[in-house]
Amino acid sequence: MLCTKEYEEIEQKVMRGERLTREDGLRLFACPDLAWIGAMADYVRKKKCGDIVYYNVNCHVNLTNICLSRCKFCAFGRDEGSPGAYAMSKEDAIELVRDAMRDPHLAGLHVVSGLHPTWSFEHYLDILQTLHEKFPSLYLKGFTGVEITHFSRISGLSVREVLLRLKDAGLQAIAGGGAEILSDRIRRELCPKKATADEWLEVARTAHGLGIKTNASMLYGHIETMEERVDHLLKLRSLQDETGGFQTFICFPFLPKNTELGKTISQTSMWDDLRTMAISRLLLDNFQNIKAYWVMLTVPVAQVALGFGANDIDGTIHKETILHDAGATSPLALQEDTIIRIIREAGRIPAASDCNFNILPTD
Amino acid sequence: MTMSILEAAHQKAAAGERLSIEEGMALYEENDLLSLAEWARAAKERKSGRKVFYTANYHINLTNICRSNCPLCAFQCEEGDARGFLLGTEEIGKELASARRVRNLSEIHIVSALHPSQPFSYYAGIVQRIRREFPNVEINAFTPVEIVHFSKISGKSVTEVLEILKDAGLSSLPGGGAEILEDRVREIICPKKASAEEWLDAMRQAHKLGIHANASMMYGHVETVEERFRHLAKLRELQDETGGFRAFLLFPFHPENTKLGQEQEIRKAGSWENLKMLALSRLMLDNFDHFKAFWVMLTLPVAQLALGFGADDLDGTIGEEKIIHAAGARTSTGITREKLDAIIRETGYDPVERDADYRAISTGGTA
């Protein structure tokens, strides 16, 4: 083992179920012994979650890529009127979901979109409500903390009021995106126009207070330092201590292609992806689930990530668009039987779930 | 108190002791990927410490016209096929000119189809020519399948064929064509080429003549798990006898564009399976020093990860590689030293540019 004596203390803490410190996190990021870090994360996963791996039969609905935020790490956002810009009508959204409904197992929707400069909050709300009424059997997860903050800004309503209205319209859970790195240094540099670190955390806190579960995430592999990765994870852990409202944590490696930032930064390695996954499992000791998001990680990495702390592999998606604009090489969708095979090859038990990790009956 | 097979396997794997076929299979079934990684990594470090090797080599495929017509292959075609090629004197000259441009070239690697009409003298002549033009480069050429083919078409014994090639300048044999060394499997995937016994015997004769070789396994098609482990045990046994194998490499079967893939509806093994087989091979083949993560086949990200699962050699900076790309491998066909160095350093290991005998060579200032 490359990491010897000085790491014994960390291993003992993990075995005893003790919380790791910021220093421990930094030492783990400095340790190249991937198999050792992975084995600890796998130990924790097995103890906490058993062998079930969650997946969704879902459809992503990205209503528009027109966005006033234009973050430097994003290849999806466009200015209004520029080539490739689109904005779905309500009918377009219904059509997309109707197409996805051809899969009899379709369980729910994941609705995430650009911050459209002229759409009102009522417009988003109307589409959500319509989807809920037309497709009452589908769960509705959607809108990141960044979108919720945007809705509050454009409507003049409080975050709490925005959340209550979305809940009334049928929203059951909030997506985990937009957290990026919860550091104002990073956000000023990469995404100055959208929700600040505190605003993002406040949306999650408020949602949890209203009984709405949310997800959390980290976008890494750009300009952040290892300290900033660890601090990001600890901010999430601290809020989770307070509310318990986070359901799953998602690691997003930055995909540089077609982004402004990508001109100077190359893509993370599989080594970095897997250790980041494993260290997240170890530091986020109060998160039940850790997601290996195959779209960004690619299917081979996502599968191996199941041995590095993950117990959730996301969904079939129907047609992914946001990350494929950033050169994601993974397929646009996965067949359910492919997901099942990937999970089984890893020796685990596949379980289709809704957006709140309730296992769905199989037919 | 008697130990279960699995318990015994755990103890032996952790202690670096030899595993039986049954114990290897018990670890396979248990499917504890991270423990396998830890044991395989320790086994790697016992053999090669913190070093991870790569080499500057150049691949030449002389022909893709093949009379073997193996269902497992996407490279070969029949004589008269528009895709068919056979390198003549002039084309070989061009290949060698490209090879000459490779900095620190340590090895020329030649693997080809079993051409129905080219005589043995064609192949021996090429080795002679390369030796003349590259007096110090390792000529790693002709799998045992090709050696057996040369013996059949020339009427000479395998030993005579090997002696002639050695005299012409051959240094070592590549590890391909082993597939799974079980005749039940070979009947299905490659019925017309060297049998398991012929493959092993050609290796035995080569080792006796001081010709080193690599060994391989192609898996993920019609073989059973037990057949994989019997295959590994056969290689281990021969290595005990001769010590002539230098490195082992795994070929996950690429089903695209192959008859076998279509007829048997085979799906490619996942990365989990590939890393697991690497770690298990490292544990089973306790008398092999080096394990290659052949990045052209695995993709570079998986090959890097393989360094945590027992591999210690990323193979070469490859000029051209046609066989696997014909079967749909998506990796690019070349890589720089700088990139390999960076990939290795990220894993905590030390990059070493090697010659064919795994000795460090001066890297001309990049390292």
Residues 6+ apart with CB under 8 A from A206: A159, A160, A163
Amino acid of residue A157: L
Q: Which residues 267-286 of B have a C-beta within 8 angstroms of A?
A: 267, 269-273, 275
Residue A160 inside a domain? The answer is yes
Instruction: Find the angle CA(B317)-CA(B321)-CA(B324) to the nearest 5 degrees.
Output: 125
CB atoms near residue B292 (< 10 Å):
26
Residue A262 inside a domain? The answer is yes
Mean pLDDT of the A29-53 span: 95
Among A260-274, B169-183, B206-220, the range scoring the smallest mean pLDDT is A260-274
B346/A270 CB distance under 8 A: no
Mean pLDDT of the B161-165 span: 98
Residues 6+ apart with CB under 8 A from B274: B250, B252, B298, B302, B306
Hey, is the C-beta of B301 within 8 angstroms of any chain A C-beta? yes
Structure confidence at residue B47 as a pLDDT band (50, 70, 90): very high
The pLDDT score that the predictor gives to residue A327 is: 85
SS3 B37: helix
Hey, is the C-beta of A30 within 8 angstroms of any chain B C-beta? no
Structure tokens of B60?
A: 């030449």
Which among A34, A272, A303 has CB closest to B270? A303
A35/B275 CB distance under 8 A: no
Amino acid of residue B178: A
The pLDDT score that the predictor gives to residue B1 is: 56
- In a mutational test of the A interface, the residue from B41, B44, B52, B272 whose CB has the highest number of chain A CBs within 10 Å is B272
Measured distance CA(B225)–CA(B357) in Å, rounded? 32
| ipTM of the shown complex | 0.87
For residue A342, the chain B residue with the least C-alpha distance is B270
A34/B305 CB distance under 8 A: yes
Q: Which residue has the tokens 């129905």?
A: B116
The pLDDT score that the predictor gives to residue B332 is: 46
Contact yes or no for B250/B281 (Cβ under 8 A):
yes
The pLDDT score that the predictor gives to residue B322 is: 45
Measured distance CA(B148)–CA(B140) in Å, rounded? 16
User: Which CATH number goes with the domain that contains A49?
Assistant: 3.20.20.70
Is pLDDT at B319 greater than 80 in this prediction? Answer: no
A34/B347 CB distance under 8 A: yes
For residue A268, the chain B residue with the least C-alpha distance is B301
Residue A325 inside a domain? The answer is yes
Hey, is the C-beta of A345 within 8 angstroms of any chain B C-beta? yes
Amino acid of residue B274: N
Number of domains composing chain A: 1
Name chain B contacts of A307, Cβ cutoff 8 Å. 33-34, 272
Which residue segment(s) compose the domain that A206 sits in? 26-352
B305/A271 CB distance under 8 A: yes
Is pLDDT at A166 greater than 80 in this prediction? Answer: yes
**Helix (DSSP H) and strand (DSSP E) numbers for chain B:** 16, 9
Is pLDDT at B333 greater than 50 in this prediction? Answer: no
For residue B43, the chain A residue with the least C-alpha distance is A1
SS3 A184: helix
The pLDDT score that the predictor gives to residue A329 is: 84
The pLDDT score that the predictor gives to residue B134 is: 97
The pLDDT score that the predictor gives to residue A1 is: 47
Is pLDDT at B325 greater than 90 in this prediction? Answer: no
Mean pLDDT of the A217-246 span: 98
Mean pLDDT of the B172-181 span: 97
Hey, is the C-beta of A290 within 8 angstroms of any chain B C-beta? no
Name chain A contacts of B269, Cβ cutoff 8 Å. 345
CA distance B283 to chain A (A): 15
A346/B305 CB distance under 8 A: no
Q: Which residue has the tokens 């850790």?
A: A290
Is pLDDT at B324 greater than 50 in this prediction? Answer: no
For residue A41, the chain B residue with the least C-alpha distance is B34
The DSSP string of A74-136 is -SS-B-TTSTT--B--HHHHHHHHHHHTTSTT--EEEE-----SS--HHHHHHHHHHHHHH-T
Mean pLDDT of the B262-274 span: 89
Interval B128-137: pLDDT, tens:
999 999 999 9
Is pLDDT at B366 greater than 80 in this prediction? Answer: no
Structure confidence at residue B327 as a pLDDT band (50, 70, 90): low
Hey, is the C-beta of A34 within 8 angstroms of any chain B C-beta? yes
In terms of Cα–Cα distance, which of B174, B281, B173 is closest to B219?
Answer: B281
Interval A234-254: pLDDT, tens:
999 999 999 999 999 999 999
Structure confidence at residue B326 as a pLDDT band (50, 70, 90): low
Mean pLDDT of the A52-57 span: 96
Mean pLDDT of the A155-178 span: 97
Residue A187 inside a domain? The answer is yes
For residue B330, the chain A residue with the least C-alpha distance is A329
Interval A301-339: pLDDT, tens:
999 999 999 999 999 998 888 888 888 888 888 899 999
Interval A67-98: pLDDT, tens:
999 999 999 999 999 999 999 999 999 999 99
Is pLDDT at A6 greater than 80 in this prediction? Answer: no
Portion of chain A with pLDDT greater than 90, in percent = 87
Which among A39, A270, A346 has CB closest to B301? A270
Edge-to-edge strand ranges of the sheet holding A58-61: A58-61, A108-111, A139-142, A173-174, A213-220, A246-253, A289-291, A312-315, A52-56, A349-352
Hey, is the C-beta of B37 within 8 angstroms of any chain A C-beta? yes
Q: Which residue has the tokens 């083949």?
A: B285
Task: Report all structural domains of chain B as residue ranges with CATH numbers, in order of start.
Answer: 56-332 (3.20.20.70)
Instruction: Find the angle CA(A315)-CA(A320)-CA(A321) to the nearest 5 degrees.
Output: 155
Measured distance CA(B24)–CA(B47) in Å, rounded? 20
The pLDDT score that the predictor gives to residue B318 is: 47
The pLDDT score that the predictor gives to residue B328 is: 55
Amino acid of residue B184: R
- In a mutational test of the A interface, the residue from B10, B27, B33 whose CB has the highest number of chain A CBs within 10 Å is B33
Structure confidence at residue B115 as a pLDDT band (50, 70, 90): very high
A35/B38 CB distance under 8 A: yes
Instruction: Find the angle CA(B56)-CA(B61)-CA(B62) to the nearest 5 degrees.
Output: 130
Contact yes or no for A77/A90 (Cβ under 8 A):
no
Name chain A contacts of B267, Cβ cutoff 8 Å. 341
The pLDDT score that the predictor gives to residue B334 is: 56
Question: Facing residues of B107 across strands?
Answer: B57, B138
Distances (CA, A) of A122 to A62, A67, A152, A313, B264: 17, 17, 11, 33, 55
Structure confidence at residue A363 as a pLDDT band (50, 70, 90): low
CA distance A28 to chain B (A): 13
CA distance A162 to chain B (A): 43
CA distance B72 to chain A (A): 23
Interval A7-33: pLDDT, tens:
899 999 999 999 999 999 999 999 988
Structure confidence at residue B321 as a pLDDT band (50, 70, 90): very low
Which among A35, A42, A346 has CB closest to B272? A346
The DSSP string of A223-241 is S--HHHHHHHHHHHHHHHH
Which H, E and C letters describe A97-113, residue by residue? HHHHCCCCCCCEEEECC
Measured distance CA(B202)–CA(A244) in Å, rounded? 65
Hey, is the C-beta of B38 within 8 angstroms of any chain A C-beta? yes
Q: Which long-range contacts (CB under 8 A, 24 or more apart) does A22-25 make?
A: A22/A230, A22/A231, A22/A234, A24/A283, A25/A230, A25/A233, A25/A234, A25/A279, A25/A282, A25/A283
Which among B34, B41, B270 has CB closest to A342? B270
Question: Facing residues of B216 across strands?
Answer: B249
B301/A346 CB distance under 8 A: no
Mean pLDDT of the A150-165 span: 98
**Does the CA dihedral A231-A234-A236-A242 come out positive or negative?**
negative
CB atoms near residue A330 (< 10 Å):
20
Residue A359 inside a domain? The answer is no
Measured distance CA(B138)–CA(B355) in Å, rounded? 8
The pLDDT score that the predictor gives to residue A3 is: 56
Is pLDDT at B323 greater than 80 in this prediction? Answer: no
Residues 6+ apart with CB under 8 A from A79: A66, A70, A85
Mean pLDDT of the A215-235 span: 97
CA distance B48 to chain A (A): 13
Hey, is the C-beta of A347 within 8 angstroms of any chain B C-beta? yes
Measured distance CA(B267)–CA(B287) in Å, rounded? 32
